[in-house]
Amino acid sequence: MHKRVEQRAENATPPPSVSRSPAVTDDAVCAAPAANDRGALLVAGWWRALCNRVHVDRRASRSTAVSVGIHLVALFLIYQWRFPEHVAGLLPQLQQVTADPQERLDAEFNLAEANANPADSVWSTAALSVAPDVSDEVPELSDTMPPSDDPRADIRLARLEPLEAVALDDVRTQLGTIGNDIVAVSGAVDQITHEIVLNLEQSDVLVVWLMDASISLQDDRQQIAERLERVYAEISTVTAEGSLHPEALSSAVLSFGNQTRELVAPTNDGQQVVAAIRDKVPVDATGVENVFTAVNMAANKYRVLSTRGDRKLMFVIWTDESGDDVSMLDEATNACQRLGISVYTVGPSAMFGREMGTMAYRHPDDGEVYLLPVKRGPDSVRQEQVELPFWFGRDAMPLRAGVGPFALTRLAYQTGGAYFINDARSDRSPFDATVMRRYLPAYTSPQQYQREVAASPLRTAVLRAVDVTRQHEVKGTPRLEFAPTGENFQDELREAQETAAYNLHVVELALGALGDDSLDEQYHGELSPRWRAWYDLTMGRLLAMYVRSLEYNWACAVMKGKGAEFVNTQSNRWKFVPDEQLKYGTATERRAEQARMYLERCAADNAGTPWAVIAEHELRYPFGFRVAEAFVPPPPPRNTTAGNNRRPRGRSEEQLRMLSREPQVNLPKL
């Protein structure tokens, strides 16, 4: 069970398969290892393909020896990767849903307090609001945007596909890969090692390990070190045999948090790298992760190795958050692009439509698991979800998007690297990565994103509605239970009506920004499933909020007229519960029908996504209200009889006094 803190609403794909060369009948050279299982079969296939390449040119003895040495390392790692445990069934198991999305939605959690609007964030630094200052006017979209400085800004994400059946000597795609699920730290290390092997085929390599200094990653660092120890030991063996020259692979280790520190300068000694990752990464107690600053500093520090042209630079980021210095994203990305540095990140899945999330943390002192607030980053460059409360069920929906945080993923994508999702079991997204791939955001610059929005009336309308709800700060839903016998009953009803009326006004403004049916043609012409889902969900939720606000206001007015007159004289509570019957009139009936149409279409067309989960949640509860009477028994009277000196039942007085003196667990900043 998760420890209650404070009441607060908040693939690794296996290595690319090898395309085989024509068979070479040389049993002395190309005899494949015996294969009795799937792991050995894959190794055997890889070995035969490698041997075929060896026969292409026997004269290139030195280059062949180097290639053989590199692939022997790869063979060793692949065989060490426990295929029956990790790869049996391949993608179906790696990407299977770990929990029903709706169960996640309705689960009760108590979260520690968190700053929901940090100053340095994707959304704040992008400054992508399409609305002016707060007013009752429908926001207008500004069409004046500076040209993009990003030379790859015009690349569409639709061109990105997962690398499959790639031969080891194929030229890698210029853009990176994103959203690959991995199921263990060892699997992540194996994936990164595979990328190192691919790069070693082209040139010498410097791998810079950028390790997040958070206390929450202490266990990960031990597992990383254990796995890398075997990797570097095998590389040393191959080097000693002469198949790989001693300086082919260099490594450096940096830690980052509030500050960036070089723990190991570039070295060919792999054991120094292992020791630094295992024991020398300092724990940063500030909870600040300046990851993009660290990337920029590392690029400048080691640029001479890249500009000489004799060594490829790879950055490997290992983190469990999305970064606190997103304002440095463009500078870090541009630096890596100029120097040809590929950035690979092992990190968390992003939160859907929000910046803050939670992470399960087991405290070493009491062994309890706490849900602590962490910045897991939004999944897009700006907020695309309207800020509306939910009338029933959980108000806050901390859904994990099933893709990486926008900023870190964009860094990997635009530098030709890769983003690997690595979540603890309790933190994993319930959404299948293969399904979510159709709904990826555009990993472009803020300027390019804005230009694409401005060119689409549908996208513009959705974001205008979002900004209306952001600027007017929709209030929470009004209370759903009253004690009509209380002295303040009439005042409480009036306050509830005022809340509903204010929210209704904001919803009307947002609906005005969206328009009625004029965007249907745009909807059917929209190529992005993501934006079609946003349109349906936004329109459906706003219409549902409109109907519920009017129906609630009507129910309050009726109850104010009744006063304390009950059908059942034993009642002392009025509870507003959902009801299929709409009582306000034809206005709500028509809007309710429209709301159901949009929400049902959203759920049907986007099954297995966060959009469908939220739409189904809205549809679960009818849009009308009825008042149910109930009786809540009063608490038993306290025994105040003179001379009653009985000790409290349960804990003794001394135990109760000592309880307040017990030291509280000090929760770290992750």
- 501 lies in some domain: yes
Tell me the per-residue pLDDT of 67-96, one tens digit each, with 9 for 90 and over: 656 555 555 554 454 433 332 232 222 222
Residue 612 domain boundaries: 456-630
Say how many domains are in the chain: 2
- 656 lies in some domain: no
Q: Contact, 12 vs 187, CB < 8 A?
A: yes
- 246 lies in some domain: yes
Same domain, 482 and 556: yes
- 77 lies in some domain: yes
- 641 lies in some domain: no
3-state helix, strand, coil in the chain (%, to 5): 45, 10, 45
**216 confidence band (pLDDT: 50, 70, 90):** confident
Same domain, 422 and 513: no
Q: Lowest mean pLDDT of 170-179, 204-213, 471-480, 543-552, name the range.
A: 170-179
pTM of the model: 0.70
Contact partners, residue 350, CB within 8 Å, separation at least 6: 322, 376, 377, 378, 379, 400, 401, 403, 404, 405, 406, 409
Question: How many residues are given for the chain?
Answer: 670
Same domain, 526 and 406: no
Contact partners, residue 296, CB within 8 Å, separation at least 6: 328, 331, 332, 335
Tell me the per-residue pLDDT of 562-577, one tens digit each, with 9 for 90 and over: 765 655 667 778 889 9
CATH code for the domain of 152:
3.40.50.410
- 2 lies in some domain: no
**Where among 598, 615, 630 does a domain terminate?**
630
Same domain, 47 and 69: yes
Q: Write down the residue that tokens 């004029």 correspond to.
A: 518
- Residue, of 468 and 29, whose pLDDT is higher: 468
Same domain, 194 and 232: yes
Task: Please give the Cα distance from 408 to 418 (Å, whole number).
Answer: 10
- Residue, of 475 and 255, whose pLDDT is higher: 255
Same domain, 289 and 251: yes
- 593 lies in some domain: yes
Q: Which amino acid is at 314?
A: M
**Where among 431, 448, 465 does a domain terminate?**
448
Same domain, 424 and 528: no
Return contacts of 580-585, CB within 8 angstroms, 24+ apart. Answer: 580/622, 580/624, 581/624, 581/626, 582/547, 582/551, 582/623, 582/624, 583/551, 583/554, 583/555, 583/624, 584/547, 584/550, 584/551, 584/554
Same domain, 422 and 568: no
**277 confidence band (pLDDT: 50, 70, 90):** very high
Same domain, 432 and 476: no
- 505 lies in some domain: yes
Same domain, 81 and 202: yes
SS3 state of residue 329: helix
Same domain, 148 and 179: yes
**138 confidence band (pLDDT: 50, 70, 90):** very low
Mean pLDDT of 175-200: 71
Same domain, 439 and 466: no
